[in-house]
């Protein structure tokens, strides 16, 4: 492919940690904004405080200790994607929103694998040795354990532990996939929020800093991930900045959905 034919994606890097409800509203807006024109967004963001995100169909009382979260200042949001409970805090969160079937195909599993391999390329550029996971036990798939209890099929592992947890939503030719890449260990708090304290259950997760052997910052990891994704998909990037109208739309989505207990707690 010639340089002139390299596709250009829009890149968003939120350098300041943001509220969970805003983060989810931004991803929601990007997904909604995809139209008939082929378009791809790549976003990296972080969280201003520990926040639980629930998969679209999860029942709160079965997967998260709400009282513990309230007592310890932990927010709870619900994603538009499926998957299981994730505790977000000191991490890099990524999202890919696209309507480009040439790159991603129209198959969820195939696009999921492609994005995992692109993220792996970024980790490899750091000197790490990631690989794709096989299918997890049926008990995990059907149960209420948190996301980082087991790597799901085609998620990313290092040293037999999960380092990236992702989820995807697809509607016709467009999709959003976002995921969590822990920078630091939060296993103890994850067990507390997900009813795993005192249970004979392991959390099979590893942070980037643990895998690398020293502390890795948000900025450093994002730099390597961008390089890996650019090389893997053979794309370039231009910065995306939300204008006033877009920010107002995002704020409306935040108010109507992600700050709304009816959405978060599935109240009718």
CA distances from 201 to 146, 149, 204, 239 (A): 11, 8, 9, 43
Residue numbers annotated as active site: 147
**H or E stretch at 18:** none
CA distance 127 to 170: 33
Cβ neighbours of residue 234 closer than 8 Å, sequence gap 6 or more: 1, 6, 7
Q: Which residues contact 126 (CB under 8 A, 6 or more apart)?
A: 208, 212, 216, 221, 224
Nearest residue to 26 via CA among 263, 248, 209: 248
Residue 176: strand pairing partners: 97, 169
């Amino acid at each position: 492919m010639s340089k002139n034919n390299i596709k250009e994606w829009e890149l968003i890097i939120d350098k300041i940690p943001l509220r969970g409800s805003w983060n989810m509203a931004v991803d929601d807006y990007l997904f909604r904004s995809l139209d008939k024109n082929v378009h791809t967004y790549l976003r990296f963001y972080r969280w201003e405080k520990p926040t639980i995100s629930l998969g679209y169909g999860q029942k709160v009382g079965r997967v998260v200790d709400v009282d513990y979260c309230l007592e310890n200042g932990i927010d709870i949001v619900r994603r538009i994607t499926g998957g299981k409970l994730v505790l977000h805090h000191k991490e890099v969160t990524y999202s890919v929103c696209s309507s480009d079937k040439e790159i991603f195909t129209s198959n969820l599993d195939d696009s999921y694998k492609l994005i995992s391999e692109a993220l792996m390329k970024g980790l490899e550029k750091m000197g790490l040795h990631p690989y794709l996971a096989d299918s997890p036990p049926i008990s995990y798939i059907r149960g209420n354990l948190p996301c980082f209890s087991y790597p799901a099929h085609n998620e990313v592992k290092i040293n037999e532990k999960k380092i990236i947890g992702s989820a995807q939503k697809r509607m016709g030719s467009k999709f959003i996939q976002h995921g969590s890449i822990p920078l630091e260990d939060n296993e103890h708090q994850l067990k507390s929020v997900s009813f795993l304290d005192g249970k004979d259950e392991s959390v099979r997760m590893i942070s980037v800093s643990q895998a690398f052997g020293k502390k890795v910052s948000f900025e450093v990891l994002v730099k390597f991930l961008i390089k890996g994704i650019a090389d893997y998909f053979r794309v370039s990037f231009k910065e995306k900045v939300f204008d006033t109208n877009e920010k107002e739309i995002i704020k409306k989505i935040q108010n109507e959905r992600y700050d709304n207990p009816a959405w978060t707690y599935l109240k009718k």
